[in-house]
Chains A and B, each alone.
Chain A
Amino acid sequence: QKEVEQNSGPLSVPEGAIASLNCTYSDRVSQSFFWYRQYSGKSPELIMSIYSNGDKEDGRFTAQLNKASQYVSLLIRDSQPSDSATYLCAVNRDDKIIFGKGTRLHILP
């Protein structure tokens, strides 16, 4: 089983709709969870971090964590064409972060 699993996509979502990205992880002792966004040809940039069960909202982004199910998700409300990118889920293991391979999101104008 891979440490961090994501559907590679592409996930196509109409502009203005909610995009839902999902991630599962295998290490039950992980405490920190991150979502990075990576535009084509660019470096990953952190958009959300979450450490406790439940929801965390930041503008149009909501991260959801369920440690019992080892599941992390990212919701993007009112999707914009500028949200089209690859979204990387990341989970800490000790002092390092393990990344999933990412989900490609395409917002349809």
Chain B
Amino acid sequence: DAGVIQSPRHEVTEMGQEVTLRCKPISGHDYLFWYRQTMMRGLELLIYFNNNVPIDDSGMPEDRFSAKMPNASFSTLKIQPSEPRDSAVYFCASSLVTSSYNEQFFGPGTRLTVL
């Protein structure tokens, strides 16, 4: 079975540019999560979806960040405009609907560098 797929794996961009990260969850999973990981802050939840509907976006750092899930097999995280402090590894994860047993499967991550 294919796991969670993310693209691109690496992204280097300049400050002010728009960045779009992509994720394909595991087929049949109802929950999709976007995380950001840095040395200083660890693994932070940005937003999560249930059945394509955003449930909690309280972790999104500011209005420059937005996320969409137009269908069950695709989600995007967009940063516009990007800033150097957005440099981090961004992970997408998915899980089944059993909320009490929320075992999440992570994609390989996108390493974002904003110059």
Interface residue ranges, A against B (CB under 8 Å) = 31-32, 34, 42-46, 49, 51, 88, 92, 94-102
Assess A31 versus B103: contact at CB under 8 Å? Given A98-B45, A100-B42: no
A51 to B103, CA, bound (A): 12
Task: Assess the A49–B103 pair: CB atoms within 8 A.
Answer: yes
* Choice from B48, B105, B106 contacting A95 with Cβ under 8 Å: B48
Contact of A46 among B45, B56, B91, B104 (CB under 8 A): B104
| Cα distance, A31 to B102, chains bound together (Å) | 10
Whether, in the assembled complex, B25 has its beta carbon less than 8 Å from a beta carbon of chain A, the answer is no
A46 to B104, CA, bound (A): 8
Evaluate contact between A32 and B106: CB separation under 8 angstroms. Answer: no
A99: nearest chain-B partner, CB-CB: B43
Cβ-neighbour of B55 out of A45, A49, A95 (below 8 A): A95
- Which residues of chain A have C-beta atoms less than 8 A from B104's C-beta? 46, 97
List the interface of chain B (C-beta within 8 A of A).
31, 33, 41-43, 45, 48, 50, 55-56, 91, 99-109
Residues in B neighbouring A46, C-beta threshold 8 A: 103-105
16 further interface pairs, Cβ-Cβ under 8 Å (given A44-B91, A97-B33, A99-B42): A42-B108, A43-B91, A43-B109, A44-B106, A46-B103, A49-B101, A88-B43, A95-B48, A95-B99, A95-B102, A96-B33, A96-B48, A97-B102, A101-B41, A101-B42, A102-B43
Min C-beta distance of B37 to chain A, whole Å: 9
22 A-B pairs in the complex with CB atoms less than 8 angstroms apart: A32-B100, A32-B101, A32-B102, A34-B103, A43-B107, A43-B108, A43-B109, A45-B106, A46-B103, A46-B105, A51-B100, A88-B43, A92-B99, A92-B100, A95-B50, A96-B33, A96-B45, A96-B102, A97-B104, A99-B45, A100-B42, A102-B42
